[in-house]
């Protein structure tokens, strides 16, 4: 068994896998990460490996408290990925985006794929039929948009995401929900339509913390998969082990 963790901008996602089967998963804050990992290992003492991907600089020294208990594997740009990276600034490409692209290639072979990760930021990652990673887009996520309106204006309140009743906001709060939620769904549907125009059979994968919320608002047919990053991390590790 192996413990797989993704260290994101605001939270840590963790899962325990037995080969390809996820038997446990959780999400917790960075402040409590060590205590939570200890708790997971107490529940799953048969774990022998720890697989880590992080958007921040992370070294094996971060996990010294696990020495002698698990073998540590850090997924980095030096890891063997199942695609050719044609991004023009490859050293700036987030490891989370690379892992998502890897999972899309391994799970949906020989097809064009667009992975949309709706988290702190919304990222779009395109991999063509030849397994070439070409790039995509980055935009603010739901929470960032609400926070920006609150922090950079004098009177707009800080709201939580809510589905607007109409595309015409009749109060300030309704107008903000239309602007954020309506704006994001229009953005995602627009990107999908543009990609579909050039790749009619493209696979669309929506993941991230806001995936389930947004999936219900979108017009286009998608695969909504909130745990796709963790599954992709597990698949990437297995691929790298076999192809080193």
210 is catalytic: no
pLDDT tops 70 at residue 2: yes
Q: Which domains does the chain have, with CATH numbers?
A: 2-74 (3.30.420.40), 84-233 (3.30.420.40)
Range with the poorest average pLDDT among 148-157, 206-215, 219-228: 219-228
State the pLDDT at residue 56. Answer: 73
Looking at 6, 20, 49, 96, which residue is catalytic?
Answer: 96
pLDDT tops 80 at residue 198: yes
pLDDT tens figures, 51-83? 999 877 766 667 788 878 889 899 998 899 999
CB 240 within 8 A of CB 80: yes
pTM score of the predicted model: 0.91
pLDDT tens figures, 165-187? 889 999 999 999 999 999 999 99
State the pLDDT at residue 216. Answer: 85
Burial 104-133 (b: 16+ CB within 10 A, else e): bbbbbeebbbbbbbbbbbbbbbbbbeebeb
Between 108 and 218, name the one with better pLDDT. Answer: 108
Burial 10-24 (b: 16+ CB within 10 A, else e): ebbbbbbbeeeeeee
CB 134 within 8 A of CB 114: no
Q: Cα separation of 47 and 84, whole Å?
A: 32
Span 201-221, average pLDDT: 88
Q: Return the structure tokens found at 172.
A: 């300030």
pLDDT tops 70 at residue 155: yes
pLDDT tens figures, 109-143? 999 999 999 988 999 999 999 999 999 999 999 99
């Amino acid at each position: 068994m192996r413990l797989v963790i993704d260290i994101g901008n605001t939270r840590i996602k963790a899962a325990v896998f037995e080969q390809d089967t996820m038997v446990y998963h959780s999400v917790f804050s960075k402040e409590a990460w060590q205590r939570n990992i200890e708790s997971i290992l107490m529940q799953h003492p048969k774990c022998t490996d720890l697989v880590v991907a992080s958007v921040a600089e992370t070294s094996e020294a971060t996990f010294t408290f696990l020495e002698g208990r698990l073998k540590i594997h850090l997924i980095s740009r030096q890891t063997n990925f199942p695609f050719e990276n044609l991004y023009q600034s490859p050293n700036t490409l987030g490891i989370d985006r690379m892992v998502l692209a890897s999972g899309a290639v391994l799970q949906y072979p020989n097809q064009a794929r667009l992975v949309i990760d709706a988290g702190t930021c919304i990222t779009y990652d395109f991999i063509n039929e030849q397994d070439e990673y070409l790039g995509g887009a980055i935009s603010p996520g739901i929470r960032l948009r609400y926070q920006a309106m609150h922090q950079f204006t004098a009177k707009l309140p800080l709201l939580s995401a809510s589905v607007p009743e109409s595309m015409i906001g009749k109060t300030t709060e309704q107008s903000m929900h239309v602007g954020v939620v309506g704006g994001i769904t229009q953005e995602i549907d627009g990107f999908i339509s543009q990609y579909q125009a050039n790749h009619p059979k493209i696979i669309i994968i929506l993941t991230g913390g806001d995936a389930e919320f947004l999936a219900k608002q979108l017009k286009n047919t998608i695969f909504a998969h909130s745990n796709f990053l963790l599954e992709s991390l597990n698949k990437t590790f297995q691929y790298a082990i076999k192809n080193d």
